[in-house]
């Protein structure tokens, strides 16, 4: 069942996500979280971190699975999603780094990396709570509109719009990778609970189309 919840501001959405996850963590210290990069979820992670600290919730066994990664960008690059997830999630929530997974964007193993990633999610028991943003063109993860609803994790080409949107994190658009590896819509929809957050007028069209 999908529910559209209109909130006053991003802070209210952050609290909604954070309290849901914190309550789930109290019942299940082995919770599996689906993680997203981008500006949208940052406040939600911070809010969750506040509750975890205030209530001294044990997160040492929590597993995390990021949505996506650039293909062919070194994991050491500051804007690789390995690094972004480390900075914005693993450190903020104080998760165990070895239990936080990001798809492998290395070109050497890209043909099998998607299947390996989906198997790792399955081995972990599936994702309990997935957080998502949405691109201005309606992409989810890096699944552009038109992606198969049953798709698994796989390599995709980034659209010009998405590369332009993400150019702000690089010195120029030429540095933005052209390909990525992303959880598929099928992978994402296997999560038991999905929070898709969207803020601001520039997301309105994408939200309307999605709903
Ligand atoms: P944003 O990106 O959170 O930075 O707006 C969302 C997305 O591209 O999925």
* Strand partners of residue 194: 130
Question: How do residues 170-181 score in pLDDT, each as one tens digit?
Answer: 999 999 999 999
Residue with tokens 């690094």: 83
Average pLDDT, the chain: 96
For the question of residue 165 being annotated catalytic, the response is no
Atom of ligand 1 nearest to the CA of 134: 9
CA–CA gap between residue 15 and residue 19 (Å, rounded): 6
Q: In this predicted structure, what is the pLDDT of residue 204?
A: 96
For the question of residue 139 being annotated catalytic, the response is yes
For residue 132, name the pLDDT band (cuts at 50, 70, 90): very high
In the chain, which ranges are continuous DSSP H helix?
A: 10-27, 42-54, 81-85, 91-93, 110-123, 160-166, 185-189, 204-210
Question: How do residues 15-62 score in pLDDT, each as one tens digit?
Answer: 999 999 999 999 999 999 999 999 999 999 999 999 999 999 999 999
CA–CA gap between residue 32 and residue 12 (Å, rounded): 23
CA–CA gap between residue 108 and residue 78 (Å, rounded): 21
For 11-15, 55-59, 109-113, 136-140, which range has the lowest pLDDT when averaged over its residues?
A: 136-140
Whole-number Å distance, alpha carbon 39 to ligand 1 midpoint, is: 6
Q: Compute φ and ψ for 182, nearest 5 degrees.
A: -135, 145
For the question of residue 68 being annotated catalytic, the response is yes
**What is the share, in percent, of the chain residues with pLDDT greater than 90?**
95
CA–CA gap between residue 81 and residue 102 (Å, rounded): 7
Question: How do residues 144-158 score in pLDDT, each as one tens digit?
Answer: 989 999 999 999 999
| pLDDT exceeds 90 at position 162 | no
For residue 13, name the pLDDT band (cuts at 50, 70, 90): very high
Residues ≥6 apart with Cβ < 8 Å to 87? none
- CB 71, CB 100: distance < 8 Å: no
CA–CA gap between residue 79 and residue 171 (Å, rounded): 11
Q: In this predicted structure, what is the pLDDT of residue 125?
A: 98
Pocket lining: 34 vs ligand 1, CB cutoff 6 Å: no
- CA 69 to chain CA mean position, Å: 10
The predicted model gives 119-145 an average pLDDT of 95
Residue with tokens 């309290």: 19
Pocket lining: 39 vs ligand 1, CB cutoff 6 Å: yes
Residue (of 158, 151, 157, 211) closest to 185 by Cα position = 151
Residues ≥6 apart with Cβ < 8 Å to 105? 69, 70, 71, 72, 73, 75, 80, 81, 113, 180, 181
């Amino acid at each position: 069942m999908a529910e559209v919840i209109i909130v006053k501001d991003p802070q209210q959405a952050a609290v909604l996500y954070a309290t849901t996850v914190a309550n789930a963590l109290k019942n299940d210290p082995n919770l599996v979280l689906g993680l997203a990069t981008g500006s949208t979820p940052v406040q939600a992670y911070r809010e969750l971190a506040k509750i975890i600290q205030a209530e001294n919730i044990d997160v040492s066994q929590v597993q995390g699975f990021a949505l996506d990664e650039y293909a062919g960008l070194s994991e050491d690059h500051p804007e690789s999603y390995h690094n972004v997830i480390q900075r914005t999630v693993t450190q903020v929530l104080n998760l165990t780094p070895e239990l936080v997974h990001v798809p492998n964007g290395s070109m050497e193993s890209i043909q099998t990396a998607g299947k390996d990633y989906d198997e790792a999610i399955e081995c972990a028991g599936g994702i309990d709570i997935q957080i998502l943003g949405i691109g201005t063109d309606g992409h989810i993860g890096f699944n552009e509109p038109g992606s198969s609803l049953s798709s698994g994790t796989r390599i995709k080409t980034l659209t010009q719009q998405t590369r332009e949107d993400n150019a702000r994190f690089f010195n120029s658009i030429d540095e933005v990778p052209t390909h990525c590896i992303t959880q598929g819509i099928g992978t994402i929809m296997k999560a038991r609970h999905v929070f898709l957050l969207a803020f601001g007028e520039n997301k309105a069209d994408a939200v309307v189309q999605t709903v």
